[in-house]
């Protein structure tokens, strides 16, 4: 898409980030008006733009770290509802950049910037403020302010020493300290704060030994994910399912997908107890519910009478072929009894097609 809608475009107005808000006209769309139509068009356009930006970023982040996945569909969907359109249109309707300078892009950065000398970074920025494109005289370079999120330098209009956690530092070092960021980055990070766009599947304790809290949460989350599927099929499980509303839905509908807010709650030790409560309520339901018990499995290896379930992830596992559930200890993938039965039956049907009728 050539017509990229840049955030925070050039012109000196943006540089007056703090003052522009006071100058600005209050945007009050009149329904049935041209503004409304423009807004709708813009919304559609922006969705395409968001997806292409995130796709691009996805490729970059996968190459760089191999483990961070951005859920592009979700970004598109959630931004649809969360950002004030009027405000955004005001920013985006300006012309994007010049030949030597372009405004910062809306991108999810998951790599920590290596420390570079100020002079080198500012030279790489062609001696422009990274936020508004104002040329910087060499003698003023030392006055520029560093944005930890974008790894660039900003003038004092574009950087007011706002502080934020940095996703890359959380994801790669489990570092939740706050760092100084530009006004643009602060806005960006605040706007993705609740978005579940960080897939932590491949991030384990081996990656950072300190994140035991995260492993605990991931373990409970996995059980909740499976047990929720079971509960959804049970007509008596209404109250057990109600418990799931204590936490954001994505935490139990999807695996390993977290927002920055979730991660902060993991770090503070707040998320695991909530998830555990939900799990206890669910387990209590399944244990006492005939309908749910009827959906369990009997381990075909040991033929124990105890009913087992796929959500018992520490003791049970599923055959990847036929999806039947067995004790982990009993299971040998080479000889799943159910798969063996299915294969034998297929073979029989092949040699005696008439047996099918
Ligand atoms: Zn600036
Ligand atoms: Zn039930
Ligand atoms: Zn068994
Ligand atoms: Zn099988």
- The alpha carbon of 319 and the centre of ligand 4 are apart by a number of angstroms equal to 4
Evaluate if residue 252 carries a pLDDT over 90.
Answer: yes
Evaluate if residue 311 carries a pLDDT over 60.
Answer: yes
- The alpha carbon of 110 and the centre of ligand 3 are apart by a number of angstroms equal to 43
- The alpha carbon of 128 and the centre of ligand 1 are apart by a number of angstroms equal to 8
Please write the tens of the pLDDT for every residue from 113-148: 998 899 999 999 999 999 999 999 999 999 999 999
Considering only 72-76, 176-180, 214-218, which range has the smallest mean pLDDT?
72-76
Q: Most distant CA pair in the chain: distance in Å?
A: 91
Give the number of whichever ligand sits closest to the CA of residue 321: 4
Residue 343 CB contacts under 8 Å (≥ 6 apart), including other chains: none
3-state secondary structure the chain: CCCCCCCCCCCHHHHCHHHHHHHCCCCCCCCCCHHHHHHHHHHHHHHHHHHHHHHHHHHHHHHHHCCCECCHHHHHHHHHHHCCHHHHHHHHCCCCCCCCCCCCCCCCCCCCCCCCCHHHHHHHCCCECCCCCCECCHHHHHHCEEECCCCEEECCCCCCCEEECCHHHHHHHCCCCCEEECHHHHHHHHHHCCCCCEECCCCCCCCCCCCHHHHHHHHHHHHHHHHHHHHHCCCCCHHHHHHHHHCCCHHHHCCCEECHHHHHHHHCCCHHHHHHHHHHHHHHHHHHCHHHHCCCECCCCCCCCCCECCCCCCCEEECCCCCCEEECCCCCHHHCHHHHHHHHHHHHHHHCHHHHC
Please write the tens of the pLDDT for every residue from 154-203: 999 999 999 999 999 998 888 999 999 999 999 999 999 999 999 887 66
- The alpha carbon of 341 and the centre of ligand 4 are apart by a number of angstroms equal to 9
Evaluate if residue 319 carries a pLDDT over 60.
Answer: yes
Q: What is the pTM of this model?
A: 0.67
- The alpha carbon of 236 and the centre of ligand 1 are apart by a number of angstroms equal to 59
Query: What's the pLDDT at 59?
Result: 36
Query: What's the pLDDT at 93?
Result: 46
Query: What's the pLDDT at 245?
Result: 95
Evaluate if residue 13 carries a pLDDT over 90.
Answer: no
As a whole number, the mean pLDDT across the chain is 79
Evaluate if residue 63 carries a pLDDT over 60.
Answer: no
- The alpha carbon of 305 and the centre of ligand 3 are apart by a number of angstroms equal to 10
- The alpha carbon of 175 and the centre of ligand 1 are apart by a number of angstroms equal to 28
Query: What's the pLDDT at 118?
Result: 94
- The alpha carbon of 257 and the centre of ligand 2 are apart by a number of angstroms equal to 27
Please write the tens of the pLDDT for every residue from 253-287: 999 899 999 999 999 999 999 999 999 999 999 99
- The alpha carbon of 249 and the centre of ligand 3 are apart by a number of angstroms equal to 33
- The alpha carbon of 221 and the centre of ligand 2 are apart by a number of angstroms equal to 19
- The alpha carbon of 343 and the centre of ligand 3 are apart by a number of angstroms equal to 21
Evaluate if residue 153 carries a pLDDT over 50.
Answer: yes
Evaluate if residue 314 carries a pLDDT over 60.
Answer: yes
Place of tokens 């092949």: 350
Stretch 35-51: mean pLDDT, rounded? 65
């Amino acid at each position: 898409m050539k017509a990229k809608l840049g955030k925070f475009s050039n012109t000196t107005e943006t540089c007056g980030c703090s003052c522009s808000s006071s100058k600005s006209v209050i945007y009050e769309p009149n329904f049935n008006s041209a503004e409304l139509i423009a807004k709708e068009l813009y919304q559609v356009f922006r969705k395409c733009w968001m997806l292409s930006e995130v796709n691009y970023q996805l490729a970059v982040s996968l190459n760089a770290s191999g483990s961070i996945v951005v859920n592009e569909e979700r970004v598109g969907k959630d931004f649809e509802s969360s950002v004030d359109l009027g405000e955004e249109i005001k920013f985006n309707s300006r012309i994007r950049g010049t030949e030597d300078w372009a405004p910062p892009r809306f991108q999810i950065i998951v790599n920590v910037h290596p420390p570079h000398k100020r002079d080198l970074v500012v030279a790489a920025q062609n001696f422009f403020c990274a936020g508004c494109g104002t040329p910087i005289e060499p003698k003023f370079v030392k006055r520029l302010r560093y944005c930890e999120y974008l790894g660039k330098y900003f003038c004092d209009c574009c950087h007011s020493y706002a502080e934020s956690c940095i996703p890359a530092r959380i994801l790669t070092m489990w570092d939740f300290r706050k760092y100084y960021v530009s006004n643009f980055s602060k806005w960006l990070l605040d706007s993705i704060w609740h978005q579940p766009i960080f897939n932590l599947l491949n991030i384990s304790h081996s990656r950072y030994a300190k994140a035991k809290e995260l492993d605990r949460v991931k373990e409970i989350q996995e059980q909740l994910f499976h047990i929720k599927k079971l509960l959804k099929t049970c007509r008596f499980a209404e109250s057990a399912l109600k418990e799931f509303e204590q936490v954001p839905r994505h935490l139990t509908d999807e695996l390993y997908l977290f927002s920055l807010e979730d991660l902060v709650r993991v770090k503070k030790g707040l998320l695991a107890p909530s998830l555990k409560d939900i799990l206890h309520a669910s387990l209590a339901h399944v244990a006492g519910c005939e309908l749910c018990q009827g959906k369990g499995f009997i381990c075909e290896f040991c033929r124990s009478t105890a009913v087992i379930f796929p959500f018992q992830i520490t003791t049970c596992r599923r055959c990847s072929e036929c999806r039947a559930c067995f004790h982990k200890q009993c299971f040998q993938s080479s000889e799943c009894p159910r798969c063996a039965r299915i294969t034998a039956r297929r073979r029989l049907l092949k040699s005696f097609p008439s047996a099918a009728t």
